[in-house]
Structure formats: structure tokens, C-alpha cells
């Protein structure tokens, strides 16, 4: 039986051109990129080329890219690394300030500021679970609500920003319902807040001597762009972000490699050591504190471990291919998306589309439907439909692959205001490069037959 894949939001097949770019580094070009001899430098050059290719696609400098093992690791590094670094810098700055006053004891009051982060309620679990863990460790976390389409509440964001806010993290495109968040507008809100904070800091306030970092350093803005890169402009300058997460396996690259863009990173990492030696009052706030230590020269000392050269080379090639085909592929997928929705309305008129209507606020490969149970079809739930589709050779998903086995209501659909029944009774259909109209028609026919039985 032939199999058909409609779960491209969970993972994509490895493009043969990407595999070709990776192949030499599995065998003959096997050197450790940290080694100084010819074999090592050959591998190091491959890492550099990939880093440079990706940096050009993002509109940044190659020194602002950190390679990781996954988007989950990148998201952890963004949240945990920023918070940990803030705490260390605050301790250093309080000590320096007190030393200048010949007061060598750092008071509990000076260290008592409770840092705050803001995340949207529909983030991937790698953000939400990390935020909850930080919350247990004393960080205040604000979960931004969303409307019925999945758009974050910008008014709530404005109200939540204050002097203690260290980081804001809002995903670019949602993995379950495909909603595109207004990243540029969020960046503008944060930028305006920073400017206002800088002006207010000129007069003394309750945070004097408690918050000695430059007033315009925080909050930083992070976006998880894993689902967005295939379809949307991810130029970091256009978006106004400080940190961005990407994954190779979502763009027809290999599994086991992700990245984190960090604004200004490469220009400041070396200078940070010199600044600290001079007891500079304002060490670099953009530098993350590493989660994995032990490789001082690897990824600017912020991610220890020998670089995964084949995967990184494949990542670079995958990004290059997306850049070449994004606009054309986006148009093709949008037509398939519109076609699928129109047909679904006819064969399953009771099915409800979750999230934003098709258009500028939804990525072009995503459709998520709620199927009413017990329509005389014998299907007790969307899970039943998913299983029957799988048995018929069609792979679809109830939501994020990372939580698909839990059978718990989708936190994304719950955040959109839907009931538990709807949050557990929905299926996600996502298209990709190999998806054709013929395959879509076959899927629609099987759904129609299953609903009639």
C-alpha cells in the first residue's frame, strides 16, 4: 500500500540535494573542526560556509549564529541563557558599584530583583516547559493570551512590560494552527518601551542601584521561527528581533541540528572578557550564559561539543534551497490549501477550521479542523479518524508531534478559547514540497468515505 504524508509541520524528508552536500563529511572529510591540521580545517571550512549561508539568509553576520542539536535546545538556550547571564551580570555590577563606594558587601536588596519573562500562551512546549521551570526557580512568567485566531494580545503585552522584564518570547508562526504573529509590531512595542525606560531612568527611582545595567539593554526579544522559515521573511533586521530559533528538520534538512541567532554576539564575545577585566560597569547584556560547557572555542564558548559537521553542512544547503524557492512554493501551497478547504466544506460541512482564516495571517501549508464526533459515521473522535486514515495510508496529526502521544487537549486550541472536546477532537493537515493535488484528492476521497460509513 502506498503511503501519503500530510504532517510536514512535524518533520520534512531530507532533500536529496541536502543529502549530497552532507555525504562527504560522513566519510572522507571526517576531521574535527577544532583541529589545526588540514583535516580539521577542511571540516571547519564547511561549518563556516554553512554559517555564512544562513547568516546571509537572515540578514545578519555569520558571527551571530550558534549551532545547537535542535530547536528545543536553542529555545532552552535563549530562555535559560539570558536569565542566567542576567543574574551573573547583576551580581557583577552590584559588586562593582559597591566596590566604587568602598562597600564590599552586596546587600540582599540589591540582588532581590525578581526577573520577569513574557511568553505567549501558544508557544511550543520547549518554550512553555522551560518557562515553567524558570518560574519554579523564582522567575516571574507572564503568559500572553491570544484571541480566537491565535493572535497575541498586544495590549496585554504593553501592560506587562516593566523594569524587571528581561525577555519576551513569541513564536513567528504557530505549529498547530499556522497563525502568523505580528513580530515586527511586537518588536516596535518593546523598542518603544526601552526608549521610554531610558528616559525615565534619568531621574532617580525605586530601581536605582538595584538594576545597574543600562536601562535600554532589556527586555530582549526572542522568536521561535521554526515553522516560519519555509514561508515567511525571516530577515532579523526587518523583524527587529534579538534572538531567533530555527530547525533544519523542518526545512528538508537533517534532524539533530538547530540554531540560535543572537544579535551582536560575535562582535562582543571576545570584548566581554576584556570589559570584565577592566571592571566595566556594563558588561555585554547580549551574551548568553552557556548551558553546555567544556568547549571554549566551540560556538563562541556558548555551546560545548564537537560540531556536527555533516548536519551543519546540510543545514546550510537546506537554507539555500528554501531561499531559492520560497516565493514560488508559497504560492503553490496556498492554492492547495484553498482547494483543500473548499473541498472539505463540501464533503464535511460540519468540520470547523481552527485558527485564522486562510490569508495573510496563516502560513500556506497548514489546515487544522475540528471534526464533530458521532455523526453517524461510527467515528467516536478525531483520534478515530486519524487512526483510520493511517490504516488507509495517510499520515496526519492531532497537533504537535512532541505531545501527540499524550492524548491531552491541545494547549494551543484551549488558549484559543475552545472546549476540551474541540481541543482533543481536531486534526492538523500540513503540506510540503512533495504534496500534489492528486495526493490531496486521494486524501479527500478517503475522508469522505470514512465519514459516510
424 HSE (CA, 13 A, CB side): 12
Q: Torsion-angle region of residue 306: left (phi > 0), alpha (psi -120 to 50) or beta?
A: beta
- Residue 402 among the catalytic residues: yes
Strands (DSSP E) along 186-306, which ranges? 220-224, 243-247, 258-262
For the chain, the helix, strand and coil percentages under 3-state DSSP, each to the nearest 5: 45, 15, 40
Q: Torsion-angle region of residue 144: left (phi > 0), alpha (psi -120 to 50) or beta?
A: beta
**Identified catalytic residue from 60, 234, 402, 407:** 402
66 - beta bridge partners? 260
Please tell me the distance from the alpha carbon of residue 140 to that of residue 115, in angstroms, as a whole number: 6
Pairing of strands 258-262, 352-353: unpaired
Residue 18 makes CB contacts below 8 A (sequence gap 6+) with 252, 253, 254, 314, 317, 318, 321
Please tell me the distance from the alpha carbon of residue 432 to that of residue 395, in angstroms, as a whole number: 13
Residue 64 makes CB contacts below 8 A (sequence gap 6+) with 55, 261, 262, 263, 264, 265, 266
Please tell me the distance from the alpha carbon of residue 326 to that of residue 229, in angstroms, as a whole number: 9
The SS3 assignment for 55 reads: helix
DSSP string across 304-355: -S---HHHHHHHHHHHHHHHHHHHHHHHHHHHHHHHHHHHHHHH-TT-EE-S
Residues annotated as catalytic are: 402
Amino acid at each position: 500500500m502506498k503511503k501519503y504524508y500530510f504532517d510536514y509541520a512535524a518533520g520534512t524528508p531530507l532533500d536529496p540535494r541536502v543529502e549530497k552536500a552532507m555525504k562527504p563529511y560522513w566519510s572522507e572529510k571526517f576531521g574535527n573542526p577544532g583541529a589545526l591540521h588540514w583535516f580539521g580545517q577542511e571540516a571547519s571550512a564547511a561549518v563556516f560556509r554553512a554559517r555564512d549561508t544562513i547568516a546571509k539568509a537572515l540578514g545578519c553576520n555569520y558571527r551571530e549564529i550558534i549551532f545547537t542539536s535542535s530547536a528545543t535546545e536553542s529555545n532552552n538556550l535563549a530562555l535559560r541563557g539570558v536569565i542566567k547571564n542576567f543574574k551573573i551580570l547583576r551580581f557583577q555590577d552590584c559588586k562593582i558599584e559597591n566596590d566604587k563606594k568602598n562597600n564590599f558587601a552586596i546587600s540582599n536588596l540589591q540582588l532581590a530583583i525578581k526577573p520577569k519573562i513574557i511568553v505567549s500562551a501558544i508557544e511550543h512546549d520547549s518554550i512553555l516547559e522551560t518557562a515553567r521551570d524558570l518560574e519554579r526557580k523564582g522567575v516571574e512568567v507572564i503568559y500572553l493570551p491570544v484571541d480566537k485566531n491565535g493572535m497575541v494580545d498586544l495590549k496585554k503585552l504593553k501592560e506587562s512590560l516593566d523594569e524587571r522584564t528581561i525577555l519576551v518570547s513569541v513564536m513567528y508562526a504557530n505549529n498547530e494552527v499556522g497563525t502568523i504573529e505580528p513580530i515586527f509590531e511586537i518588536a516596535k512595542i518593546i523598542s518603544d518601551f526601552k526608549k521610554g525606560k531610558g528616559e525615565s531612568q534619568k531621574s532617580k527611582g525605586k530601581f536605582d542601584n538595584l538594576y545597574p545595567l543600562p536601562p535600554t539593554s532589556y527586555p530582549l526579544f526572542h522568536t521561535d521561527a521554526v515553522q516560519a522559515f519555509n514561508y515567511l521573511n525571516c530577515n532579523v533586521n526587518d523583524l527587529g528581533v534579538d534572538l531567533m530559533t530555527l530547525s533544519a528538520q523542518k526545512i528538508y534538512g537533517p534532524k539533530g541540528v538547530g540554531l540560535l541567532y543572537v544579535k551582536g554576539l560575535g562582535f562582543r564575545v571576545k570584548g566581554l572578557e576584556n570589559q570584565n577585566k577592566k571592571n566595566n560597569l556594563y558588561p555585554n547584556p547580549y551574551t548568553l550564559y552557556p548551558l553546555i560547557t567544556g568547549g571554549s572555542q566551540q560556538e563562541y564558548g556558548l555551546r560545548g561539543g564537537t560540531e556536527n559537521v555533516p548536519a551543519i553542512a546540510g543545514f546550510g544547503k537546506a537554507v539555500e534551497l528554501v531561499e531559492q524557492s520560497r516565493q514560488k512554493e508559497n504560492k503553490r501551497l496556498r492554492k492547495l490549501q484553498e482547494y483543500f478547504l473548499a473541498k472539505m466544506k463540501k464533503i464535511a460541512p460540519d468540520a470547523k477550521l481552527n485558527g485564522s482564516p486562510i490569508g495573510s495571517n496563516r502560513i500556506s501549508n497548514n489546515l487544522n479542523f475540528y471534526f464533530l464526533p458521532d455523526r453517524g459515521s461510527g467515528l467516536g473522535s478525531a483520534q478515530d479518524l486519524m487512526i483510520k486514515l493511517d490504516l488507509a495510508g495517510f499520515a496526519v496529526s492531532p497537533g504537535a508531534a512532541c505531545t501527540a502521544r499524550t492524548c491531552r487537549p491541545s494547549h494551543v486550541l484551549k488558549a484559543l478559547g475552545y472546549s476540551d472536546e474541540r481541543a482533543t477532537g481536531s486534526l492538523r493537515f500540513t503540506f510540503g514540497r512533495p504534496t500534489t493535488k492528486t495526493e490531496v484528492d486521494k486524501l479527500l476521497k478517503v475522508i469522505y468515505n470514512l465519514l459516510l460509513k
